Copies of this chain bind each other. A is one copy, B any other.
Amino acid sequence: MRQITGLSNPTVKYLRSLRDKKHRRREQRFMAEGLRLLTDARETGHLPEILAMAEGRERHPLLDELVAATEAAGGDVIEVSQDALTKITGKDNPQAVCGVFAELDTALTRISRDGAPLVLVAQAMRDPGNLGTMLRTADAVGAGGLVLIDDCADPFSVEAVRASMGAIFTVPLAQARWEEFRKWLREGPGQLVAASLRDPHDYRDAPYAAPCFVMVGNESRGLPEEYEAECDLRVTIPMLGRADSLNASIAGAVLAYEVLAKLR
């Protein structure tokens, strides 16, 4: 472990730069915060390249294990001031520890068509909190992965990683343009399903078939018409109130749990 002082230290600057998508992309690195998240990462075989901790933090056996494992794997463990950690994380009240990880592979080949009855698909999902929540839901339903279509929020942003509650490290994640995804999907078995108002089935009584690809659209615009038309099955979720849509990650979860109940 080494102590680092000052806010202009190159490592502090580097860590801070990873808050920015452009830098993450260039460095192919991302940051995860908090002992719980970093422990989840460690337990699933992901150790940080750099582990930064605040001076004067409370001791914790899980932190000791994390430090030992990171150092054993050749990682850089540093101690910085509370001020520097605030700078790095951009939060007034940062978690006492954060780590830098190599970005994960997000090729479509990561997605598993067998071994799980369903896969989640998000199209142009712009909110990193929703995206992280989709990852968390994908973990809970035992999905074969989450496919991000078109211009989604960055799944490696601090906000998405946080909302995923560790699922960023466990759920196979793919990023693709629509045409690329469509082509890949049609090369093997897979039923594409989305909520829709176009001659839909009631979502409680629809002929789901594994592997079922459950797709949700952009938060404000929903799915493009062409994408809906490509679906093998269109379903409708009751909307009994004034609004005509659910939050995108909510719609995805309600559908995913229905599919799970039918295909498990």
Chain A residues within 8 Å of B, Cβ to Cβ = 40, 44, 129, 133, 136-142, 163, 165-167, 170-171, 204, 237-243, 245-247, 249-250, 253-254, 257, 260-261, 264
Contact = CB atoms under 8 A, between A and B. Distances in A.
A170 B244 CA distance: 13
A167 B250 CA distance: 15
A250 B40 contact: no
A236 to B, nearest CB: 12
A240 B167 contact: no
Contacts of A167: 241-243
Contacts of A260: 238, 240
Contacts of A237: 140, 257
Given A142-B241, A167-B241, A249-B250, 18 more contacts: A44-B242, A129-B129, A133-B247, A139-B242, A139-B243, A140-B238, A140-B240, A140-B243, A141-B240, A141-B241, A142-B240, A165-B247, A166-B242, A167-B242, A204-B261, A238-B257, A247-B249, A250-B253
Contacts of A243: 136, 139-140, 165-167
A249 B137 CA distance: 11
A89 B140 CA distance: 36
Nearest to A264: B238
A260 B241 CA distance: 13
Contact of A140 (B141, B204, B239, B249): B239
Contacts of A242: 40, 44, 139, 166-167, 170
A253 B250 CA distance: 7
Q: Which of A133, A242, A254 has the most CB of B within 10 A?
A: A242
A246 B133 CA distance: 8
Nearest to A249: B250
B250 A133 contact: yes
Contacts of A44: 242
